[in-house]
């Protein structure tokens, strides 16, 4: 029989004994140990962990921590090692590769060796989806919880309460896979505050906060041989609900302080006059016929936000990130970088003036995607990266790979997008196509007037949007075929709809400019 504790963990592998897909562990001398059936096989060769960085090695052995009440089995599971008077806590990346080791001395001093990782302690030992995951403040707390509730996912923060929110943000994709997230931090002022702050970036409705009544933390409870207290705290964890009830009498300052009507302005005066600017927590749909310029319109709006320092998420499902980036840079600088040939030095200078200082996050993908993937990426942009404005271009391609009734799929998709807006507080600009015009109506590509009933596939697009902005242009006109009419066909904020000005696209600058017109007078018979 080999001594497992003298070798490095390399990766998870299937177990030929019990059939587990990832419960078996391969070590650096070639031996394996299955944490499901506890089967051990001897190795006949040395496995080199070439992916391990920092040249760190786990020394000591996994053994029972008598005083802590943590068994040898639990320590082997987490690979917590005792090395003289020190405890060793290994940190792995998502694939299970050892990246670094945190060392704790008897004087409670900590040091870290190796390459830093964004993962939580113990994260690699559990699946990425499940019913419940518990997050503790320290490694021994996670092990104590696992001792009390074996097989349940128990992980810990890598840097304690001080960096809880930041460390939680880095693992939003992991938490999205669980039905319930329990924050089980220390029962002191710092732990309580950290749990409430971390809960704000986690999916609402899924997050709970656990409290111990008689102990500071799970480790202290286990040392007192009170596993029941740990289990009770987890089972009785309370759903996180932020404080939101205030007395009306306290609102004098709030209601009497002048506030701007919007969080941002549009780059076009006609839009600002009708919509009164852009506000957070709104879903704004942009629609038109094919080839009218929806994407160019979105890029110009986005570039304006980015130049003001706003964090922007941009998901263009029908174009590459290169084209999206060059298009945004073109709008910002007023030159068509995405057209023709340009010297590398010119592109580098343009990048330095724009992308280098922008807070822009793009979706690295092209084509059709599972809508659930897009929902999770938008939520990550909002909660993990703190983007307040997100563009999704466009709705139809999001559903192009799915089978089933289009109307029903659109209803479901719009409901989820609306829910994301409400939960996260973002502004979502959504590009949507129109249905083809009836035979007796002018086509949208020939300048036909847009109405809400023409939104493709579902009334839910109109119902769940706060504003709907339509672009109209006659591509076949003999003159002024580059002039686009902006029409507001829904405005939940003020109710003002109708003609909102005309804009003219300049191919050389990749920008729209407002076009002077005499048609801007409000007409109640047509504009409402």
Report pLDDT digits (tens) over 258-267: 766 789 999 9
Band (203; pLDDT cuts 50, 70, 90): confident
Residue 246 lies in a domain: no
pLDDT tens by residue, 398-426: 777 666 677 788 888 899 999 999 999 99
Residues 74-99 have a mean pLDDT of 94
Structure pTM? 0.70
Indicate if 142 and 69 belong to the same structural domain. yes
Indicate if 287 and 388 belong to the same structural domain. yes
Tell whether the model's pLDDT for residue 458 goes beyond 70. no
Range of 185's domain? Answer: 51-239
Indicate if 36 and 68 belong to the same structural domain. no
Indicate if 56 and 40 belong to the same structural domain. no
- Give the lowest-confidence range in 112-116, 358-362, 370-374: 370-374
Q: Look up the CATH number of the domain holding residue 8.
A: 2.20.25.10
Per-residue pLDDT, 164:
96
**Strand-strand pairing, 9-13 and 24-27:** antiparallel
Tell whether the model's pLDDT for residue 52 goes beyond 60. no
Indicate if 356 and 393 belong to the same structural domain. yes
Indicate if 197 and 341 belong to the same structural domain. no
Indicate if 202 and 295 belong to the same structural domain. no
pLDDT tens by residue, 105-155: 988 889 999 998 999 999 999 999 999 999 999 999 999 999 999 989 999
Indicate if 230 and 284 belong to the same structural domain. no
Indicate if 282 and 345 belong to the same structural domain. yes
- Residue 528, Cβ neighbours under 10 Å: how many? 10
Tell whether the model's pLDDT for residue 363 goes beyond 80. yes
Tell whether the model's pLDDT for residue 272 goes beyond 60. yes
Indicate if 139 and 27 belong to the same structural domain. no
**DSSP-derived secondary structure for 289-336:** STTSSHHHHHHHHHHHHHHTT-EEEEEETTS-HHHHHHHHHHHHHTS-
Name, in order, each residue with C-beta under 8 angstroms of 446's C-beta and a sequence gap of 6 or more. Answer: 474, 475, 476
Tokens coding 36: 């499901």
Indicate if 55 and 40 belong to the same structural domain. no
Number of domains the chain contains: 3
Residues 204-213 have a mean pLDDT of 92
Indicate if 201 and 304 belong to the same structural domain. no
């Amino acid at each position: 029989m080999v001594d497992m504790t003298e070798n490095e963990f390399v990766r998870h592998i299937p177990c030929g004994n019990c059939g587990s897909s990832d419960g078996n562990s391969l070590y650096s001398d070639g031996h394996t140990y299955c944490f499901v059936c506890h089967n051990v096989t001897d190795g006949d060769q040395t496995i080199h962990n070439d992916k391990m960085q920092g040249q760190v090695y786990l020394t000591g052995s996994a053994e029972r921590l008598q005083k802590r009440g943590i068994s040898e089995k639990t320590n082997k599971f987490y690979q917590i090692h005792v090395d003289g008077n020190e405890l060793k806590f290994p940190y792995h990346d998502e694939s299970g590769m050892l990246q670094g080791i945190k060392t704790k001395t008897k004087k409670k001093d900590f040091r870290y060796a190796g390459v830093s990782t964004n993962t939580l302690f113990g994260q690699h030992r559990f699946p990425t989806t499940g019913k419940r995951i518990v997050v503790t403040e320290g490694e021994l707390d996670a092990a104590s919880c696992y001792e009390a509730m074996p097989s349940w996912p128990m992980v810990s923060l890598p840097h304690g309460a001080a960096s809880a929110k930041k460390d939680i943000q880095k693992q939003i994709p992991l938490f999205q896979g669980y039905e319930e997230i329990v924050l089980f931090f220390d029962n002191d002022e710092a732990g309580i505050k950290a749990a409430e702050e971390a809960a704000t970036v986690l999916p609402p409705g899924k997050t709970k906060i656990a409290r111990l009544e008689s102990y500071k933390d799970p480790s202290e409870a286990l040392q007192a041989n009170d596993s029941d207290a740990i289990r009770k705290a987890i089972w009785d964890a309370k759903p996180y609900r932020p404080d939101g009830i205030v007395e009306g009498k306290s609102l004098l300052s709030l209601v009497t302080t002048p506030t701007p009507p919007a969080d941002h302005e549009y780059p076009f005066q006609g839009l600002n006059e009708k919509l009164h600017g852009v506000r957070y927590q709104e879903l704004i749909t942009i629609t038109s016929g094919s080839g009218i310029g929806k994407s160019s319109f979105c890029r110009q709006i986005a570039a304006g936000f980015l130049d003001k320092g706003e964090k922007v998420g941009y998901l263009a499902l029908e174009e590459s990130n290169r084209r999206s980036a060059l298009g945004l840079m073109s709008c910002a600088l007023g030159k068509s970088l995405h057209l023709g040939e340009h010297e590398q030095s010119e592109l580098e200078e343009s990048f330095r003036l724009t992308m280098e200082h922008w807070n822009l996050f793009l979706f690295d993908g092209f084509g059709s995607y599972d809508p659930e993937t897009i929902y999770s990426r938008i939520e990550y942009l909002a909660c993990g990266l703190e983007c307040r404005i997100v563009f999704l271009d466009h709705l139809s391609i999001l559903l192009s790979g799915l089978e089933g009734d289009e109307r029903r799929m659109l209803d479901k998709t719009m409901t989820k997008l609306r829910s994301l807006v409400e939960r996260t507080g973002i502004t979502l600009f959504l590009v949507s196509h129109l249905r083809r015009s009836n035979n007796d109506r002018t086509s949208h590509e020939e300048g036909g007037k847009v109405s809400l009933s023409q939104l493709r596939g579902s009334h839910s697009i109109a119902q769940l949007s706060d504003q709907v902005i339509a672009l109209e242009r006659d591509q076949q006109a003999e003159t002024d075929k580059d002039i686009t009419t902006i029409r507001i066909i829904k405005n939940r904020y003020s109710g003002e709809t109708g003609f909102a000005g005309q804009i003219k696209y300049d191919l050389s600058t990749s920008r729209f400019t407002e076009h002077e017109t005499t048609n801007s007078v409000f007409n109640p018979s047509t504009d409402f």
